Amino acid sequence: MVTLITGATGFIGRHLVRALRSQGRYVRCFVRKTSNTKPLEKLGVELVYGDLLDPSTIPFALRDVDIIYHLAGVVYPRDKTAPYKANILMTKNLLNACVGQNICKFIYLSSIAAAIGTNSWIVDETSPCNPVTRYGKSKLEAERLLINFVKEKGLPAIIVRSPLVYGPYQSEFSRAAMLFRSIKKRTFRIIGDGTNLISLCYIDNLIQGLLLVEKRGKLGEIYFIADERPYTLKEIAEVIAQKEHVKLARFHIPSWLALFVAHILPHSSRKVIREMTSNWACDISKAKRELGYLPKVNLEEGVKKTVDWYESMTGVNR
């Protein structure tokens, strides 16, 4: 069995590769020549160089492949065209190359952002999708492409939606790393009362869920994979502060003030403020029911493991 992973050099991909190799699986990683592949090389994987934006480089990577994990994409785009190229066009090129291949399962990692709309509460797989960010819109469009290939081409695909993922080796530019860093440096302030609900997913929980999707997931279905329950923003901040051995500021920034100031801030800053005052929560009942998914790591344990990793590393930008 050959398992192909796109996005293997990223945070999630790195953990998935390690989990698969620990099972003795043969793993092939489709990577760009500019990528840092040293961590993958140490795990004994096959590297195939190419670019999902160049369709001619894809077929060679698909030879004898049984399982595909498509993780590649852009979460924090630098320009307006990046989400289209990374999350839609690359996915379309890969899907086209898979037609006629003997793929057993194609697992696509999407995002809660594809489902979250204005004033969303707790979403599940049946909730109407009305994404509010460019990233979310691009992930939803990629999902729709995938579903069309399932219906029209018979591609055995499954979609996984995850919320914010955190844990050891997370990118220093990720939302999670920024949150940990700002709390550690005592610059973090809760906006509003902090009772808005946010789903998180510790990296080990996500990897567990992905492997269960491969084993038990139903073709053409969507599954939310996250921690056992959503947390309030205040709860998340308090746990991180406790594990970082710092005191969380008692003063909250009023929502009306933050939203007023947001109008004169850069788009990226406005987006962060809106995200911090909204609900980003999902229900994992379907994954528990159909996959037997039971997340093993709770918030306190996940945060502790992440902080311990930071403390064990040198040169990590905090």
pLDDT in tens, 89-144: 999 999 999 999 999 999 999 999 999 876 678 999 999 998 988 889 999 999 99
> Above 70 in pLDDT, residue 270?
no
The pLDDT assigned to 79 comes to 64
Question: How large is the C-alpha radius of gyration of the chain?
Answer: 19
Write out the two tokens for 151.
């219906």
The pLDDT assigned to 78 comes to 63
If residue 44 lies in a helix (H) or strand (E), which one and from where to where? none
The region, left, alpha or beta by phi > 0 then psi within -120 to 50, assigned to residue 292 is left
Q: Mean pLDDT across the chain, nearest whole number?
A: 91
Number of H helices, E strands in the chain: 12, 13
> Above 60 in pLDDT, residue 22?
yes
CA distance readout (Å), 190 to 167, 197, 274, 284: 22, 13, 12, 26
Q: CB within 8 A of 314, min separation 6: which ones?
A: none
pLDDT average, residue stretch 255-259 = 69
Please tell me which residue, 224 or 86, carries the higher pLDDT value. 224
> Above 70 in pLDDT, residue 232?
yes
**Angle of helix 90-98 relative to helix 134-153, nearest 10 degrees?**
10
The pLDDT assigned to 268 comes to 55
The pLDDT assigned to 121 comes to 86
If residue 144 lies in a helix (H) or strand (E), which one and from where to where? helix 134-153
pLDDT average, residue stretch 196-220 = 97
Q: In this structure, how many other beta carbons lie within 10 angstroms of the beta carbon of residue 240?
A: 24
Confidence of residue 85 (pLDDT cuts 50, 70, 90): confident
Percent above pLDDT 70 for the chain: 89
> Above 90 in pLDDT, residue 246?
yes
User: Vertex 119, ends 114 and 124: CA angle to 5°?
Assistant: 45
CA distance readout (Å), 152 to 67, 129, 142, 155: 20, 22, 15, 8
The CA distance from 179 to 182, in Å, is 5
Query: How far, in whole angstroms, is CA 234 from its chain's centroid?
Result: 22
pLDDT average, residue stretch 240-261 = 83
pLDDT average, residue stretch 190-197 = 90
> Above 90 in pLDDT, residue 254?
no
Range from 36-50, 79-93, 198-212 carrying the lowest mean pLDDT: 79-93
Q: What is the pLDDT of residues 51-74, one digit of tens each?
A: 999 999 999 999 999 999 999 987
Q: What is the pLDDT of residues 42-54, one digit of tens each?
A: 999 999 999 999 9
